[in-house]
Amino acid sequence: MVYEDLYQKSIENPEKFWQEQALRIKWFKHPNTIIGQDENGIKRWFIDGELNTSYLALDYHIGAGRGEQIALIYDSPVTNTIKKFSYKELTVLVERCAAGMRSFGIMKGDRVVIYMPMVPEAVIAMLACARLGAIHSVVFGGFAANELAVRIDDARPKLVISASCGIEVDRIVPYKPLLDRAIELSKHQPDICVVLQRPELQADLLPKRDIEWQELMLDRGPIEPVSLKATDPLYILYTSGTTGCPKGVVRDNGGHAVAMRYSMEFVYGMQAGDVFWAASDIGWVVGHSYIVYAPLIAGCTTILYEGKPVKTPNAGAFWRVCAEHGVKAIFTAPTVFRAIRKEDSDAQFFAKYDMHRLNYIFLAGERLDPSTYHWLHEKSGLPILDHWWQTETGWAMVANPVGVGMKSTKPGSATLPVPGFNIKILSSSGKELSKGEEGNIVVKLPLPPGCLPTIWRDHERFRDSYLNIFPGYYLTGDSGFIDEDGYIYIMGRTDDVINIAGHRLSTGRMEELIGSHPAVAESAVIGVYDDLKGQVPLAFIVLNDGVDDHSLQINTELVKLIREKIGPLACFKKTLVVNRLPKTRSGKILRKVLRLIVDGKEYGVPSTIEDSTVLEEIKEKIAYDWHGRC
C-alpha cells in the first residue's frame, strides 16, 4: 500500500488501522478492545491485550528459528573491545539477570533505576526488567549526583544497577561516588545497589547494600516472561521540564511494542536479519526505542557503541563501524556529522571504507540544517533522511516513508507525517494556519500507539504541559509550517522564535543561512534583549578547521547574507566566533543558557551538558566581544 493510502486510512479509521498493525506482534492474549479510556480519561490502545516485551525481543525469535543470529554487537573503541551476542546467548543472560532480580524481591510494578555506561549489561538489565514486569528508569551514565537523586526520589526504586565507571575518550569517569552521593541526597533509599566492576576502575562497595554484578548473574534457572497488560508501564524516562524538575515520561508495553515493530519497517525500511545502528545512548529515548527495543522486536541486529564520532580514534570512527558490521541504516543526530565534517571536511575517511551495505542515513534529535544535509549527501551519495520526534512520542511523528516508497527529500524538511499522527499548525489563538504559515505544531488527539499516556505520579502536569493549551490537541512545543506539498518543516522550539519589533522570526531560518557559508561549521542564533526592538539576533559560530578567524570579514558577509535572504527587519548585525557551542550529551545546543549569559542573568549549569568548561570560554568571549565592544 502506498504512503498516501496508509496515511489516510490511519486518520479516517485509526482503530482498524492499528488493529491491523497489532497483528505484526505476538500477543499472549490478543486485544479485542483496540482503543478505550483509562481512569484519567486518556485514550489507551489495546487495553485488554496481554504480552511481554522481553519475549517479543528475544524468545519469539528463537522460536522463529533465529536463535543463532546475532542480536547485539557491542563495539567499544574506548576499551578496544568487540563482542557479539546471538539471540540465544542474549536470552540466557537476560534470564539470569531477571532471576537475580527476582531473588532480591523485584516483582511486577517495582522500579529499577539503571545508571550505566554503554555496556551490554545495561541492555541486559533493561530486558530483564521487561521480562519481570518491573519498570526500569535509565538515567544517563555520569549524570550529576543531584540529578540522579531527583530521579531516585521520583521513581522510588527498590534496586539500582550501576557500574564502577564510564569511559569518555581518554578519561575515566567514576560512577560509584556519584551514585553514593545521590543516595545520600535522596529521601528514598533503594534496598540494593548492583555494581558492575569494570577493569578500568574498581569501586568500593558498601556492606549490606552493594553487591557485584556477578552475584546478580548467578545461574538460578530460567525465568519465563510475565504476562502483562498492554497498558502496564514498561519504563519511565525523564525529560527536562520548564520548572527545572524533570518529567517522568511513562511508556506502556502494548502500544510501544506495536509502534516499535511498525516503525522499523515503515520509517527505517528494516527487515529481520538487517543490521541497524542507532548511534545514541541508552540514557535517551533514541537508545530505548532504537538501540534496544525496536531492532530486537523486529529481529534485526543492533549495535551498542561505546565511543565518539571523533577522537575514538578519529573522524572515521562511525564509517569504520558501518563497514565492519555491515550496517544497513544508521540513525544519529546532525551534530555528529557536523563534528565529523569539522575534522574531515573532504570526507576522506568515508572513501577509505567499504560502505556498499549502508543504504540510509537517518538524522533526528535537532534540526537538520541544509548545509549539513548537502555536505553529507554530496560526500556519501546516500539518502539523507531527516525525521522528527520527541521523548514523549517514543517514535517518529514526521519521516520519509522508506518502507513503502521513499519520497524526494527537501533540505530543511523532515518530510511527511507518519501514519497515526494528524499534525496541524495552529496560531497562538488556536486557529489553524494556512500552508506556509509558521505556528505551533500540534497533533490531533488521540495520539497513536507508543506515545506517553501520562507523567509518572503527576497526571495534572501531563495535562498542563501537553493537553490544556490547545484542547483536543497534543502540544509538541515546536514551531514550524507545512508547505504546499504537505512537507513539514520544524523550525525550532517555540521559545526559539525571536520577536523583533513585532516581527516573529525563526532562529532556525537564520542558522540555515549562516550554515550555508563555506567558513561555518555550525551555529546557534539566539534572541537577546534590546531596549528598542525587544530582541535582536546574535549568532555564535564555529569555524571549519583550517579556516582563519577573519571575524570582521565573516561577520560582514553573514550580515549581508541575512539582509538579502530575510531582510533588514532581521536586524542581524553581530556574530561571535567561538571554539565550541555548549551542548547536551545528546547534541542539542543550549540556546537558553546562551541567552541568559548574554542578558546577564543567572543560569544553572544543566546536568545534561557535555562539557561545562565551554560556558566559561563563552562568558569571556561575550564579555569582551559583545558587552565590551558593542
* pLDDT above 90 for 611: no
pLDDT of res. 241: 56
* Euclidean distance between CA atoms 622 and 537, whole angstroms: 14
* Euclidean distance between CA atoms 257 and 56, whole angstroms: 8
Segment 199-214 mean pLDDT: 96
**Measured CA distances, 90 to 61, 98, 161, 277 (Å):** 11, 12, 18, 18
* pLDDT above 90 for 548: no
* pLDDT above 50 for 629: no
* pLDDT above 90 for 563: no
* pLDDT above 60 for 630: no
- pLDDT, one tens digit per residue, over 472-493 is 999 999 889 999 999 999 987 7
More confident residue, 246 or 290: 290
Calculate ∠ Cα 508-427-390, nearest 5°.
55
* pLDDT above 80 for 495: no
* Euclidean distance between CA atoms 325 and 75, whole angstroms: 10
Domain 506-626 has CATH 3.30.300.30: yes
* pLDDT above 70 for 501: no
Residue ranges of the chain that CATH labels 3.40.50.12780:
3-307+387-480
- pLDDT, one tens digit per residue, over 393-418 is 999 999 999 999 999 999 889 999 99
CB 540 within 8 A of CB 559: no
CB 489 within 8 A of CB 414: yes
Give me the phi and psi of 272, to 5 degrees please.
-55, 135
* pLDDT above 70 for 531: no
CB 439 within 8 A of CB 433: yes
Residue ranges of the chain that CATH labels 3.30.300.30:
506-626
What is the value of pTM for the model shown?
0.86
Q: What is the percent of the chain where pLDDT is above 90?
A: 75
User: For 49-208, where are the alpha helices, taking DSSP H only?
Assistant: 53-54, 60-63, 87-103, 120-132, 145-155, 176-185
pLDDT of res. 556: 92
* Euclidean distance between CA atoms 558 and 64, whole angstroms: 58
- pLDDT, one tens digit per residue, over 157-203 is 999 999 999 998 889 999 999 999 999 999 999 999 999 999 999 99
* pLDDT above 50 for 243: no
* Euclidean distance between CA atoms 218 and 424, whole angstroms: 53
Cell matching residue 392? 514523549
- CB-facing half-sphere around the CA of 242: CA atoms within 13 A: 9
Q: For residue 408, how many other CB atoms are within 10 A of its CB? A: 9
Number of residues that this document lists for the chain:
630
Q: Determine the 3-state secondary structure of 280 from DSSP.
A: coil
* Euclidean distance between CA atoms 309 and 36, whole angstroms: 44
pLDDT of res. 18: 98
Segment 371-391 mean pLDDT: 95
pLDDT of res. 430: 94
First to last CA, the chain: 59
Q: Which residues contact 255 (CB under 8 A, 6 or more apart)?
A: 44, 45, 46, 230, 448, 449, 450, 451
Cell matching residue 347? 570526507
* Euclidean distance between CA atoms 530 and 599, whole angstroms: 9
More confident residue, 134 or 141: 134
pLDDT band of 504, cuts 50, 70, 90: low
- CB-facing half-sphere around the CA of 537: CA atoms within 13 A: 34
pLDDT of res. 549: 73
What is the chain's mean pLDDT, rounded?
92
Which CATH number, 3.30.1360.200, 3.40.50.12780, 3.40.190.10, 3.30.2310.20, labels domain 3-307+387-480?
A: 3.40.50.12780
Cell matching residue 49? 491485550
Segment 21-25 mean pLDDT: 97
Instruction: Report the greatest alpha carbon distance in the chain.
Output: 72
More confident residue, 483 or 626: 483
CB 261 within 8 A of CB 298: yes
Q: Determine the 3-state secondary structure of 373 from DSSP.
A: helix
**Region label for 465, one of left (φ > 0), alpha (ψ between -120 and 50) or beta (otherwise):** alpha
pLDDT of res. 503: 65
Cell matching residue 46? 489495546
Cell matching residue 584? 547536551
Q: Which of 275-279, 331-335, 364-368, 517-521 has the lowest mean pLDDT?
A: 364-368
pLDDT of res. 502: 60
Q: Which of 182-191, 199-208, 494-503, 504-513 has the lowest mean pLDDT?
A: 494-503
SS (H, E, C) 355-366: CCCCCEEEECCC
DSSP state of 494: G
pLDDT of res. 191: 96
pLDDT of res. 196: 98
Q: Which residues contact 468 (CB under 8 A, 6 or more apart)?
A: none
* pLDDT above 60 for 88: yes
Q: Strand locations in 119-274, DSSP E? A: 135-138, 159-163, 165-168, 171-174, 192-196, 210-212, 228-229, 233-239, 247-252
Q: CA torsion, points 243, 524, 598, 439, in degrees to nearest 10?
A: -50
CB 53 within 8 A of CB 136: no
